[in-house]
A and B are shown apart, each in its own frame.
Chain A
């Protein structure tokens, strides 16, 4: 592991990397939001326009998944989505360590989601009604068993959110580190520059192939995975919130909002 470790550009003394780069993501997002809201105009231009489009997309997603009851939760969902997206993308910049490549950051996001959707469910329906929905539509004799199974499946949710985001980001990080190790100055390119003729041919061709592979395929794939994992995290959050909120509508018989 030591051979593929590479320290980032700057480190604050005594503070772990993931905290430092979380602060960097926070400063970036807060700075962008501040700049976008300087002169708020009715007809948006420039940065304000861009962020209005982004927020409108989040609003559309929420309307599709949770429905009208989901409007108050836009700040939580958009913050989570933008933080995870920028955190993922920051890990791709050479010289920076992304915060989401560390288990602590992803576990923090997953715990926020876990407590948030339970708190939303309890606040919307009351504690006893919310707990009664854990027991599901099974006959009375099976309700305790159903309750235990539901508790286990609810506890598996933050675990799966954490590991999914962490595994995708950290796995891509390790893959990139190993490829740099294989083709860098210790590997193929070093062999090509070392002067031996076989090294120049094999190392040169191999190095070129790996550079084209990395820049042309791996980096676009990592960018796609960054966007996709942020989207999946946000989508699952909305599904959990809709699961906690929608049970109140079963009694009212309100139909699911149609796709418009």
Chain B
């Protein structure tokens, strides 16, 4: 199972190479297709890790609110701020992915 996953991963990496083999000679570097691949993977990893972090934040906030219902409003405010700050890290990765895809600094 694991060996076939590794082979599948390597096969995915070979696809951008195929795209380059058909590019006309003397035009474009080998970075363009890989930039798209990297943008997709980076965004996926960032979204997953951001979800883990936000899940922990919300779990702690809900625990605290259950423990002290009187402080629920302040805990909710702190939770919202914390969630937005964690999410902004995934947004930075989104901005880098958009730069790779649309501005194409290296192509």
Contact = CB atoms under 8 A, between A and B. Distances in A.
The answer to whether A and B come from one shared complex is yes
Interface of A: 1, 160, 163-164, 166-168, 170-171, 174, 228-229, 231-232, 235-236, 259
Contacts of A170: 98
Interface string B73-106: 0100000110011011001101100100010000
Interface of B: 74, 80-81, 84-85, 87-88, 91-92, 94-95, 98, 102
A259 B74 contact: yes
Nearest to A166: B95
B40 to A, nearest CB: 14
Residue among A1, A164, A174, A228 with max Cβ neighbours from chain B (10 Å): A164
Main secondary structure of the interface of B (DSSP, over half): helix
Given A160-B88, A163-B92, A228-B84, 11 more contacts: A163-B88, A163-B91, A163-B95, A164-B88, A167-B94, A170-B98, A171-B91, A171-B98, A174-B98, A232-B80, A232-B85
A167 B95 contact: yes
Main secondary structure of the interface of A (DSSP, over half): helix
Contacts, number: 34
Which 4 A-B pairs rank lowest in CB-CB distance, beginning with the nearest? A167-B91, A164-B88, A232-B84, A167-B95
A226 B62 CA distance: 24
Contacts of A229: 84
Contacts of A236: 81
Given A170-B98, A259-B74, A232 B91 contact: no
Contact of B84 (A164, A166, A171, A259): A164
Contacts of A163: 88, 91-92, 95
Nearest to A174: B98
28 contacts: A1-B102, A160-B88, A160-B92, A163-B91, A163-B92, A164-B84, A164-B88, A164-B91, A167-B91, A167-B95, A168-B87, A168-B91, A170-B98, A171-B91, A171-B94, A171-B98, A174-B98, A228-B80, A228-B84, A229-B84, A231-B80, A232-B80, A232-B81, A232-B84, A232-B85, A235-B81, A236-B81, A259-B74
Contacts of A166: 95
Contacts of B91: 163-164, 167-168, 171
A2 to B, nearest CB: 10
